[in-house]
Structures are given as C-alpha cells and as structure tokens.
Structure 1
Amino acid sequence: MMVDNLAADKYSVPVESIFQIHESPCKIVLAITGGGAEILGELLRHGSGSATVLDAVVPYSMEAMDRFLGRKPEKYCSEKTARLMAMVAYQRALDLSKGEESAAHDVVGIGATCKLKAANERKGRKHVVHVAIQAACKTGVITLELAADRTREKEEKIAAFLIFNVLARHSGVPEVDLPGRIGTGDERKEEITEKYESVSEPVGNLLKQKICSQKGPDKTPDMARIDLNEGKSSAEPDKVRLVFPGSFDPCHRNHVFMAKLASEKHGEPVHFEISLTNVDKPPIDFISLNQRLDSLRKYRDEAFVGGVCLTNAPLFLQKADLFPNSTFIIGADTFNRLFDAKYYGGKVDISAILRHFREKNIRFMVFQRKSVEMSVNPEVLKFCEIVPMDEYEDDGISSTEIRRKQEENKGN
C-alpha cells in the first residue's frame, strides 16, 4: 500500500484513476460506516459509475448495522466487523450479478468501518480506519490508525482514499498516493497494516452457492477437503466414519478431549467439519477460516486427527447427506437444538428429522456440558450415545470466552 507524501490540498482521487476502475471488469457492492462515504461521490460523479457500482449502503446507526450484518457485532469499529461487512456486501454482489457470465470472478464486496474525529470527543480517543474486501477466493483487510491531529474533513478524505486503493489493487489499477502526509514524522508514525488470505477455487466455490437450506430437498451440499498434514492420506468422503462439526473459532482443549475420546472408542480418525455458510450469520471469510484451521493444525500429528472438510451445509440434515453411515460428535447444547423443530424454522417436524437420520444411517456421540440440561426423547436415544460427565473433563470453557480474553489481551 502506497504511503508517499502529497501536498495537503490534494484531496481528490484523480479522474483518470476513476475511469481506469470503470474500465475494469470489477463490479462492487460497498458498505461504509463511520467515515469514508465520500468514495461514493468519487466513483459516481464523473459518469460511468454503473460500470462498477452495483449497490452501496451506509448503515450508520447501530440498529442499521445490526440489521445489515444480521447480528450484533462484538465491536462496531474493528477489523473483524469490516470483514463481516465485506462478506455481506459480497453476497449481495453475487445476487445482483446472478446470471452474468464470469460474474463470480469479477464481483467483490467492500466493507469499511471508521472511528474518526468527533465533536467534544474524549482525550486519547483513537482514530482508525478499517477497510476489507471479499472476493471469490480472497479476503483482505487494511487498517490505519491516525495519530496526527487533523480536521474531520481531512480524515474523511484519507478514509475515502484507502477504500479506493483497496478497490484499485483488486482491479489491477495503480493505487494513488494517500494525502495528509501519512507515514511521515518521527514522533507519530502512521503505518498501514494489511492481511490477505487466498483459498483454492473449490473452497471459493462454497461461497458462490446459496445457503443449502434454500437449495431444495434434491440438492446436495458442496464440500472441499483440506489435509492438515500433507504426509497423511485423506479418506474419501464415503469412507469418513467419525465427523466433528463445529466452528472451531478457535479449537480448544474441550474439543480435543472430545475428539480423542471419540477416536479411541470408535477406532477411527476424526474429521472436523466446518460450514462456511450459516443459517443466520454471514459466511466465514478466509482470514477467519485460516485462523480456525491454524488452531486445528496444532494437532495435525496426533493419531486421532483425520482431516478437515469445508462445506456449505449449515444444518445437520444437510451434513447427513454429505456423510452417510457416520457418527457425528456433538455437545449437549447442539443436541438440544438438533431435535427441536424451531431450529429448522418450524419447517420440519421431529418425525421427519428422525426418519432422515435413520435413512442415512447417522448416529450421534453426545458429550454433556456443565450447566446444560439435556432434553432426551426416547426415540432419539436409539441412535445416540450419551457420554457421561465422569468420562469427559468439561471445564466449561467456550470459544466465545477464549475470543473475549484474546481481545482483552490485545488491548493491554
């Protein structure tokens, strides 16, 4: 990312750069909050904006942001939230470009969330810009923490330039120099940090598909396999017998205990399944995916580890289609949801759920958890093995608690 100096009054993206963007095949949906919305004017004011911009949204209030994301973010201005915004924008771009030739390769979502100068702000408040991009096989995010004292107007311009450069890089267009003397000064160094993660086409294809629950009963979910250890041979899907579905954000000691015990009892390696798509959340981006895979790679040399299966099957009814004749490792909270019709939006009755699992020869190995009361249906017990607490050391830890502590440590 270029951070060369420019005169302080040069605060407009060059017109020729705008037209280079419009001449590229890139189609975008923009989601911007907190600052940087001027980029919309830059892209549209010279004409030909429809060649690039499919849609744009500015979810400025917290309520608007919650609705846009389909959830309440942990923080409204953060790298993670920028990535969530980019992912939702990408899904919107796919919908809007549906049916166009090679559209999936050309469309991107861009999310930007900023905390800029405000009236009567408290002393020491950080000013920061996060810009993320989501494409078919790539996730990227850049962050700039502003240290110098500037007007709100100049900070807005800087945010707009950052958004433009993220788009320019993806489009193969030369980036423009940032205004405001970014990167100069001995006392207050303002540096841009970047993260990018790319995936193979089979993994990227999972995001191009609609959520499986919308595909219809005759459609089979898709899957891409990842070998955590290249030295190990990976079983074919129809040979997988022990599946551990989860988000693994991150994988922690309770997950490891469950996987080890299941592998010992069944004499089979465990295959961890992660669905990139979710029922009520944005899909997992590739930076987050790599972090989750890293938490699993720690155990790649262990005998109980098979591999990782990435899917677009958020519901267990769909997972059963992918892994027939398998045993699924689940916790008590998942068990309670699994046999509750509300979990399926009230569209499936319990008898149909049970019948589907019987037809696919699916069994469940259920691990009890502290403070989780299990609701046991006698019909369900016929194909479930309940692991008692005395066989399994549940310390009550959760991935959510681990992430919270990690965020606290970053702030210290």
Structure 2
Amino acid sequence: MTAASTPSNDPLHQTISAIHDSPTRVALAITGGGSGALTSLLAVPGASRTVLEGQVPYAASALTDYLGNQPDRFCDDATALAMGVAAFQRATILAGDETSRDTLLGLGATASLTTERPKRGDHRALITVQTASSTTLARLDLAKDARTRAEEENLVTQLVIDMVARAAGVPPFSGLSLSDNDNLETRQTVASPELAAVWNQQHPIAWSLVDGGWSLEPTSCPVGVLSGSFAPRHRGHVELQQAAESILEGSVCYELTAVNADKPPLDFETIERRREVFTDRPLAVTSAATFVEKSQLFPGATFVLGVDTAARVIAPRFYDHDADKLDSALKTIRENGCRFLVAGRLDDDGFQDLACLDLPTQHRELFSPIPADVFRCDVSSTAIRNSGNTC
C-alpha cells in the first residue's frame, strides 16, 4: 500500500483522519523527498481543516527563495530547522490573527534519497516541526541501497505524517516501516515561558542567566551592547567585548536576536545551543530585528558591531531604497541616546574599517571607530563553521 493510496481502514488513513479532527493547522515545506505526505494529507476528507499550505521548493533557487537566504547546505540540521521556522511563519500569516498560535505547526523536511546515479553520501531525511513553544527535529538515516526510490519516498512520507500526528496530540502512526539497519533519532527543545514570550513577540527581551535560568528583568544596565548571531561565539567576540568595555568604561552585554531583519527567526534548539556557552555573563535574547528597535530596548547604549553590520545599518535595501526612511531611522536612534562603535573586519577585499563606509553626512557623529591597534581579530564565525571547528 502506498502512502498516497489510503483506504479508511489503513493505519495511515486513520492517523490522518485523527489529525484532521484535531484543531491543528499546518503549513508544510518539503524538498528532496517525502512530498507524498502532501498528497496523503489532501487525499483524506477534512484536509481543509488542517492544511494551510504545502510547498515543494525543490530547486536550490526555490529553497533559497523560501528561506530568504541561501543555506550553507541543502540537507542538514540547520536547513531543516530553518525550513520549519519559515513554515511556521507562513502558518501564522495564512491562519490570521483569529487563530491561536498554539494550534499552528510549521513542518520543514529536507531529504537526500537514492537516485539513478550511484550516490556517495548517506540516504537521509531531516524533518522539523516548529510550534509556538517547541522545536522538534527528527533525523532518519536510511540503510543504503536497501530500498527503491519509491520505497524511500514512502518511508519519509510516513515519518512526516507521524511527526504531524505527534505534534497534534493524536495517536502516532504505528506502521512506520523501519528496518534494523535504519536509524531514527528525534530530539525536542521546549522553550521556557520567557523565551517563548520573546519568540512570539509578546515581550521584547529575555535574559539568559549564567546559571542557565531565564529572567525578564536585566541584572544590570549595560553601557554597551554587542549584538551578533554567535554561530558560534569565538575569541573575537570576547576580545571585541573587552575592547569596547575599555573604550566605554563600563559593562558591555551580548545580545542575540531571535528575529532578524534579513534572516529567518532562530528556532528554539539553535537559541538554546548558542546561549549555553554564555556562562560568564548574561545574554540578552530579543525580538528586536532592527537597531531602531534595539535603541528602544537599550536607550542610551552604544552598539558594538563589526563594519559588515555597520554597512547593513546604512544599506538602502533595508529602507526600501528610501533616503527619508534611513534618515528617520538614524534620527530615532540618536533621539534614544544611542550610537555605534565599529570594529574593522577582514574580508575578500582586505581589511575593512569604518573609513571604508559611505556614511550619511548628517549622521556621521553616530559612528565611531575602534582602532585596529586596540582591536583586530581576523577569526570569523563563518570560517569556523566551514572548518568544522567549534571555537
């Protein structure tokens, strides 16, 4: 029996019926394999109560468009997690404000299955279910050369349906056709109430404490804020924070933005993984996607950033190429008593610093450089990720 052909006494049909009878509403994005789950969900009566959208961004360009940026790899944990978050975003848009976010799911799945040509890599599927309070990631490693493409597709389809069922709180699919040579691992991250409040934009900021706990109140008021993705945090971040504290003569806190201006929001697993290295000082986790919003959260603070981020602060594309919007944003930042302290950075064109930027004349005083003899570190998070190191 194929996943797309499901009479009413078939276990997959029964699981899907239970999903449709639940209040769950789901948006799905599936690439590389498992798209039969969309057909299966739609083939069972009641699909309109459950399925908000199903997309198959199969081409690399389609997946890049769906995520809003090109992933480092097209079939790995990070891409599956980003797809789940993007799907949840789609669900919130399509369901509208009248639908409780607690009933919404975003499912992202990426797979690398058998092909006509000999395949060097593993046969695998990674599936994320994102909700308003949790991130669940399943990784299925399939026994190589043990199934046809159709059989692998069918198994991934079954797993997608099973994960939707579990997230919907209905009995899971009982007929998952795994062999002893397959390996399925699932991990779930449940957000703390404080983190969930920030992620769902019910509260603008939560503080990750050195003891591993959370607080909605700051332990102190920093004079500086070092914003970053910290993927991963490395010695350059630490040295920059120390240099900024020396210049500003006060404490500088770290800030991780859960919702970014030019990237998908971070999932809960990623946030937890990145915050766990901040054992030396609190980390602010915010929903402030822009520096205008950050200036409202941290009035009077100096934002410590690299020249690449400073370039984005003044980039016309973030202001709809409207000079008046850029001017208004920088005026608001100034009115909130904030400014920027900018460190240089090595890129393909050599060492770039604040002098390389074409700053708006009327706002130049908002930007101050950190001299290279005070701070320069040519380590980057991207290079560390590409090398496979963690620090």
Normalising by structure 1, report the TM-score. Answer: 0.83
Pair 1:128-2:120 in alignment? no
Pair 1:139-2:145 in alignment? no
Residues 354 and 46 from structure 1, CA distance in 2 versus in 1: closer, same or farther, beyond 3 angstroms?
closer
Pair 1:273-2:255 in alignment? yes
Pair 1:201-2:193 in alignment? yes
Contact 2:194 2:214 in 1 (8 A): no
Contact 1:136 1:205 in 2 (8 A): no
1:347: how far off? 3.2
Contact 1:87 1:134 in 2 (8 A): yes
Contact 1:158 1:178 in 2 (8 A): no
Q: Between 59-68 and 342-351, report the one with greater CA deviation.
A: 342-351
Give me the whole-angstrom Cα distance separating, in 2, the residues matched to 1:183 and 1:272. 46
Contact 1:332 1:368 in 2 (8 A): yes
1:108: how far off? 0.7
1:116 equivalent in structure 2: 113
Give me the whole-angstrom Cα distance separating, in 2, the residues matched to 1:70 and 1:336. 19
2:264 equivalent in structure 1: 282
1:39 equivalent in structure 2: 37
Pair 1:358-2:340 in alignment? no
2:387 equivalent in structure 1: 405
Give me the whole-angstrom Cα distance separating, in 2, the residues matched to 1:264 and 1:231. 28
Pair 1:104-2:101 in alignment? yes
Residues 264 and 35 from structure 1, CA distance in 2 versus in 1: closer, same or farther, beyond 3 angstroms?
same
Contact 1:227 1:234 in 2 (8 A): no
Pair 1:155-2:170 in alignment? no
1:316 equivalent in structure 2: 291
SS at match of 1:258: helix
1:279: how far off? 2.0
Give me the whole-angstrom Cα distance separating, in 2, the residues matched to 1:246 and 1:256. 12
1:368: how far off? 2.2
- Could you tell me which of 392, 398, 406 is aligned with 2:375? 392
Equivalent positions of 1:10-89 (< 5 A) are 13-89=11-87
Give me the whole-angstrom Cα distance separating, in 1, the residues matched to 2:213 and 2:92. 37
SS at match of 1:391: coil
1:230: how far off? 5.9
Pair 1:330-2:308 in alignment? no
1:125: how far off? 3.7
Contact 1:369 1:389 in 2 (8 A): no
Amino acid of the structure 2 residue aligned with 1:35: G
1:152: how far off? 1.2
Pair 1:291-2:266 in alignment? no
1:341: how far off? 3.7
Give me the whole-angstrom Cα distance separating, in 2, the residues matched to 1:232 and 1:45. 44
Contact 2:230 2:381 in 1 (8 A): yes
Q: What fraction of aligned residue pairs are identical, expressed as a percent? A: 31
Give me the whole-angstrom Cα distance separating, in 2, the residues matched to 1:38 and 1:340. 42
Gapped runs of 5+ residues in structure 2? none
Give me the whole-angstrom Cα distance separating, in 2, the residues matched to 1:31 and 1:200. 26
1:3 equivalent in structure 2: none
Give me the whole-angstrom Cα distance separating, in 2, the residues matched to 1:18 and 1:235. 44
Give me the whole-angstrom Cα distance separating, in 2, the residues matched to 1:51 and 1:134. 19
1:32: how far off? 0.9
1:356: how far off? 1.9
SS at match of 1:141: strand
CA offsets per residue over residues 263-309 of structure 1, 9 Å max, x none?
A: 244343322112211223211111111221123x2xx23xxx3x222
Give me the whole-angstrom Cα distance separating, in 2, the residues matched to 1:109 and 1:336. 33
Amino acid of the structure 2 residue aligned with 1:152: R
Give me the whole-angstrom Cα distance separating, in 2, the residues matched to 1:201 and 1:285. 15
- Could you tell me which of 150, 156, 170 is aligned with 1:173? 170
Residues 351 and 38 from structure 1, CA distance in 2 versus in 1: closer, same or farther, beyond 3 angstroms?
closer
- Could you tell me which of 216, 238, 243 is aligned with 1:256? 238
Give me the whole-angstrom Cα distance separating, in 2, the residues matched to 1:92 and 1:165. 21
Q: Between 14-23 and 372-381, report the one with greater CA deviation.
A: 372-381
Amino acid of the structure 2 residue aligned with 1:39: A
Contact 2:343 2:353 in 1 (8 A): no
Give me the whole-angstrom Cα distance separating, in 2, the residues matched to 1:286 and 1:68. 20
Amino acid of the structure 1 residue aligned with 2:12: P
RMSD: 2.8
Give me the whole-angstrom Cα distance separating, in 2, the residues matched to 1:232 and 1:201. 9
Residues 192 and 230 from structure 1, CA distance in 2 versus in 1: closer, same or farther, beyond 3 angstroms?
closer
Give me the whole-angstrom Cα distance separating, in 2, the residues matched to 1:84 and 1:73. 9
Contact 1:82 1:112 in 2 (8 A): yes
1:216 equivalent in structure 2: none
Give me the whole-angstrom Cα distance separating, in 1, the residues matched to 2:62 and 2:371. 44
Give me the whole-angstrom Cα distance separating, in 1, the residues matched to 2:344 and 2:104. 44
1:209: how far off? 4.3
1:217 equivalent in structure 2: none
Amino acid of the structure 1 residue aligned with 2:186: E
CA offsets per residue over residues 163-188 of structure 1, 9 Å max, x none?
A: 111111111222223544x242xxxx
Equivalent residue pairs, number: 375
1:113: how far off? 1.0
Amino acid of the structure 2 residue aligned with 1:144: L
